[in-house]
Every structure is written in C-alpha cells, then in structure tokens.
Structure 1
Amino acid sequence: MTPVKRVSSNILALFDRFGLVLTLALMVLITAASLLPKESAAGPGAVDKPMHVIAYAVAVLPAAVVPSGPVLWLAAWVVAWGGAIELLQPLVGRSMKLSDMAANAVGVLVGLLVAFLVQRLLNRMSE
C-alpha cells in the first residue's frame, strides 16, 4: 500500500470512527454560543448570516464524510437542532429569526456538498 493510499484510508477511518461524535461536539458548542446573552455574543450583526453558514457547514461535515446512516436524516437532524436553538433564544434575551434558520440550512447543504467532495477525493486516493 502506497503512503497516499494509507493516509487517505486512515483519514476515512477517522471520519468513520469519530465523525458523529465530532459533529455532536460541534453542535454543543454552537448551542452554547447561540444561547449566550446578546451582549456576550461576539461579532456584529452584519457578519451574522455567514457565521451561521460556516458554523453549520463545519458541524455537519465530520459526520457526513462517512455517514453511519442516511445523509438526509443527518441533515434534517442538524437543521432541526438549529431550529430548536432559535426557538430557545428568546429565553436568554436574544431574538428568534427565520433568516438564521435559513442560513443554518444553507450551511448544512454546503457542509454536505463539501463532505461529498472530500469523500470522493479520499476514496479516489485510497484506490
């Protein structure tokens, strides 16, 4: 086995073994950051939507590279989790925004696309 094949196989194995756990950990971090009181939250409102897209793309990516189940269930679960966070935000002095939910969903789609491309690349390299 060539070094490139070995590395790509090892990376796929890591995603397979730890992808879902890493996605869960990232969602917990997103939840904590999203439920901080407004004055504690970092960043101006102008960069709010790109931050949602990036956060949810990064969160879904590890579990989507080597999914343990249907990717659509994973996507629905992460989008629903993001929706639940938005529903809880008024309880901590923040506002619920449908545009944030939409940005979360776009981020999940971006993450799934990137995961698909990473998976294809790693599979090709390990052949």
Structure 2
Amino acid sequence: MMLKLTLVIALVIAAFTLTPPGASEPGIAGGDKLMHFLTFAVLAMPMAYTGRFPMLWIVLVAASYGGLIELIQPYVGRSAEWGDWLADGLGAFLGAWLAARIGRRGRAS
C-alpha cells in the first residue's frame, strides 16, 4: 500500500514540476523552495514509515528523483536550480526521519 502511495505522490510531483510554469506558481518569496521541501518530505514519508527500507536509501532515491527532475526541467520550459535540488534533499531527509520515528513508535505500542 505504501509503495503505491509513494508512486502516486511521485507522479503528482512529476506532473507539477515537468509542465511549463503557470499561474499556480507560488508568489511569495521562497515559496518555490518551501514547496520543494514539503513535497519531497511527503514523498519520503510513506516508505520511511514502514521501516522496511533503510532511511539512507529512501533519502538518496528521493533526492536523486529531485535531481532528475531538475535535469529535465529546462526541456519543458522551466529552469533547473541547485537550490530546488537542495530543498528536495532536505525535505526528503526530514520527511523520512519524522515518518521513521512515528512508525517505530507505532510499532512499539
């Protein structure tokens, strides 16, 4: 179930990040980086929650996915930014860390 949820989240991220920019872009300063951080935190959470995979692998896969998106974006009319990739990685780390802690607490009860 969690794998399917993760795949759906990954597809939604791809749909929003690999289409030309539009009016739905965040208009506040730093909003773009915040969105990257939050979406990649959400991406990492389901798999980390299960405790079936090492957190390092989850973070590396999520950050690599973010890097791949950044490499593709110039071909769809968007810009690639190191800051976006950094926000992806940091978000993936925090999301995985939080979900792993919550998952362990739930399994211990």
Gaps of 5+ in 2: none
Question: 1:19, 1:62 within 8 Å by CA — same for their partners in 2?
Answer: yes
TM-score by length of 1: 0.78
Aligned residues between the structures: 108
TM-score by length of 2: 0.89
Which residue in 1 is equivalent to 2:93? 109
| Aligned ranges 1:17-56 → 2 under 5 Å | 18-39=1-22, 41-44=24-27, 46=29, 47-56=31-40
The within-5 A match list for 1:81-96 is 81-96=65-80
When the two chains are superposed, the root-mean-square deviation of aligned CA atoms in Å is: 1.5
Q: Deviations over 1:61-109 (max 9, x none)?
A: 0011114333222221111111000111101111000000000000011
Which residue, 25, 47, 51 being the options, matches 1:63? 47
Quick one: which amino acid aligns to residue 44 of structure 2? V
Match 1:121 to one of 83, 105, 108? 105
The structure with the largest alpha-carbon Rg is 1
Q: Which has the higher helix share?
A: 1
Unaligned runs of 5+ residues in structure 1 are: 1-17
